[in-house]
Amino acid sequence: MRLLENLKWRYATKKFDPSKNISDKDLERLKEAIQLSVSSYGLQLYKVLVIKDQKLREQLKDASWNQSQITDASHFFVFCNYIERSEKHIDDYIQTTATIQGTPLEKLIPYGDFIKNSLSQKSDSEWISWSEKQTYLALSNLLMACAELKIDACPMEGFEADKYDEILGLKKKGLNAAVIAPVGYRSEEDHTQFRKKVRKPKEILFELI
């Protein structure tokens, strides 16, 4: 499997080469990989910000424990989950499904009602937790696509979400910064790339029942 070799190649890049940029073609490939990500009910209740602006990234670096990846990477992905419940998201999804698949809308409405009923049973805290988890599914697709294209990435939780929300004006959009990922190309000075990958042995990680 090429996938396994790609996953062995990748690592959480600590130092990027700021002189190297991702091509527009590869950027579109990464975006498409995220677009094709799985999500609960297929709703994709998140938005992904791709930030190139350096002045903005300098502000975000301050809110990210001053980690250099934020400004040195070619592009910066911020995965944001929707924080407010809205049946409009579900209605839009059902309408889009009807359009793309050519299914009569009235046949899909019962499924939309099922989703609405299921999600309405979540408490506010459960909703936030669930919606944040959706972004990690999309992040996984980004990381695997990067590995295939030999583009480096660093998934990060080390940032102050409230400051991100303020800098990017997320609250007024009903969004919350859940997880981030600078992507680009590793610096030759990043010694982390030479470390052996550490993972649990399969006999400990897996249990056949």
- The pTM of this model reads 0.96
Please work out, in degrees rounded to the nearest 5, the angle formed at the alpha carbon of residue 132 by the alpha carbons of 85 and 37: 100
3-state secondary structure of 66: coil
Q: 155: burial class by Cβ within 10 Å (0-12, 13-18, 19+)?
A: middle
Q: pLDDT for 166-184, tens place per residue?
A: 999 999 999 999 999 999 9
Q: Which helix (H) or strand (E) holds 34?
A: helix 24-35
Instruction: State the Cα–Cα distance between residues 34 and 199, nearest whole angstrom.
Output: 25
Closest CA to 48 of 126, 119, 127, 142: 142
Q: pLDDT for 10-50, tens place per residue?
A: 999 999 999 999 999 999 999 999 999 999 999 999 999 99
Q: Which domains does the chain have, with CATH numbers?
A: 2-205 (3.40.109.10)
